Amino acid sequence: MNVQEIRRKLETIVEKPVELIRLTSEEWREALLSEAHQEPGADERTLEQTEAAALHTGAVIGGATLFGGIFGGAAQKEAVFFRIEDEGIDPAQRRLIGLLVEAALSGGTDSAANEETEVQQLGRWLTEQLEQETSVDELPDRLLLKSRLFTEMIPFLLICEGAQNSLGGYEELHQLLTTFLERDVIVVPLHGREWLLLVDRLEVLEVSEERGEDEESDRELLQAFGLGLYELIASEWTGIFNLSVAEPLQPAHGLVAALRILRESVFLGRTFHVTRNVHLPWDLGLERLVNSIPIDQRLSFMENVLGREDVLSDSELLTTLETFFQMNCNVSETAKRLYIHRNTLIYRLDKVKHETGLDVRNFGDAVLMKLALLLDKVTKD
């Protein structure tokens, strides 16, 4: 049972909000001393007795009762506490809740350690498979986590780049995502700062047979969820993060192939859309095709279409064209997005026509120019 499940069960029992907080052992002791009006130099035995009693019956601090606080030895710097407003909780209830929380957290210590071992085993196996050319359709039975991977889940790939990053380890990332979703998330460490995240499909997609035409599609919901997940991670840690998401699957089958697609999507996204951080495989079909074109054919196409090599070196013209295509070739919307007058935009488009012979307001010429822009990016890289 994870801490969020314990919190929800406690809310049901006490019929009031339960807040999940974390305290270091030093903060916990300071709070106990302050509430008991003891000095830091108080008798150590007395303080230990106070701490032991607080674990069983909860500690009343600042008008609320804190339950929990199993630190698990010197290696664990902080512990989980459940904060409940003290009003209406009698001593008998307090003792009962304290015992239940202690039992639940104690039982979860070994469980958490076992889960980390299981995801590390899966991560090592996936990394080995990705280094091979062939993909295994089904996970082997020796993987301890396999029994949990027969339900529909949505895979996300999180990659943290650069030396200047503060992304924590497994425990920190798992805790953040579990708290965000209020449900357990399978966090699988791959090599380096690369993580596979498996989220229950029902936590992301609203499954309804009566979904109306105006409601968001599954892909739109996946994109929105991915953006929210990225913002959460970027707000917690410093660094450059890229996130890709695939459509739902049963991870026990086809996980290696899905992970290959996720990795490819991050690569294509970073190559062709440097300002984006969430990359969707279904939006990268053209980029995938362009990336597969041999270098000599790329150069030949660009020479034939553009005529001059320096046409796309004009940053203002390049920004104008990219925005124009982003706004679906709509002149008015492009002018608004660029904060320029419509006539200024038309002048720039006419300049492109004069220098390349391509009028991007014409569908056929727009397709050629779009291909040239993509080829220019992948050729430079």
CATH number of the domain encompassing residue 241: 3.30.70
267 & 305 share domain: no
Q: What is the pTM of this model?
A: 0.63
Q: How far is CA 176 from CA 117, 179, 183, 185, 186, in A?
A: 19, 5, 11, 10, 12
Instruction: Please check whether residue 26 lies inside any domain of the structure.
Output: yes
Instruction: Please check whether residue 14 lies inside any domain of the structure.
Output: yes
Beta strands at 78-85 and 153-161: parallel, antiparallel or unpaired: unpaired
Q: How many folded domains does the chain comprise? A: 3
Q: How many CB atoms lie within 10 A of CB 61?
A: 18
DSSP, res 239:
S
36: tokens are 């008991």
333 & 279 share domain: no
172 & 278 share domain: yes
Instruction: Please check whether residue 197 lies inside any domain of the structure.
Output: yes
Instruction: Please check whether residue 96 lies inside any domain of the structure.
Output: yes
Per-residue pLDDT of the chain (381 residues; tens, 9 = 90+): 566 667 777 778 878 788 777 777 777 777 777 765 544 455 554 555 555 555 556 677 767 777 776 554 444 456 677 788 776 677 777 777 777 777 766 655 555 567 778 888 999 999 988 888 777 788 998 898 888 899 999 999 999 886 666 676 788 888 888 887 777 789 999 977 899 999 988 877 765 444 555 566 888 899 999 999 999 888 888 888 999 999 999 999 989 999 999 999 999 999 888 888 999 999 998 889 888 888 888 888 888 887 766 677 788 888 899 899 989 999 999 999 999 999 999 998 998 888 888 898 999 889 888 988 888 887 765
Is the dihedral angle over the CA atoms 148, 261, 195, 3 positive or is it negative?
Answer: negative
DSSP codes joined into one string, 65-90: EEEE----STT--EEEEEEEE-TT--
182 & 322 share domain: no
Please report, for the domain that includes residue 311, its CATH number.
1.10.10.2840
Instruction: Please check whether residue 139 lies inside any domain of the structure.
Output: yes
Q: How many CB atoms lie within 10 A of CB 222?
A: 22
104 & 238 share domain: no
137 & 280 share domain: yes
Q: How far is CA 80 from CA 32, 71, 283, 328, in A?
A: 16, 8, 41, 50
Place of tokens 């529909």: 152
| Buried b or exposed e, range 300-311, using 16+ CB within 10 angstroms | ebbeebbeeeeb
194: tokens are 């690369």
Instruction: Please check whether residue 126 lies inside any domain of the structure.
Output: no
Residue 260: per-residue pLDDT: 93
The answer to whether 266 touches 244, Cβ cutoff 8 Å, is yes
Show the DSSP H helices in the chain as ranges.
3-14, 25-36, 44-57, 91-130, 170-181, 201-204, 218-236, 255-272, 285-291, 295-306, 315-326, 331-338, 342-356, 363-380
Distance between CA atoms of residues 77 and 180, nearest Å? 22
DSSP, res 253:
B
72: tokens are 């698990």
Distance between CA atoms of residues 28 and 78, nearest Å? 9
87 & 193 share domain: no
230 & 355 share domain: no
Instruction: Please check whether residue 125 lies inside any domain of the structure.
Output: no
44 & 81 share domain: yes
314 & 265 share domain: no
Which residues form the domain of 82? 3-109
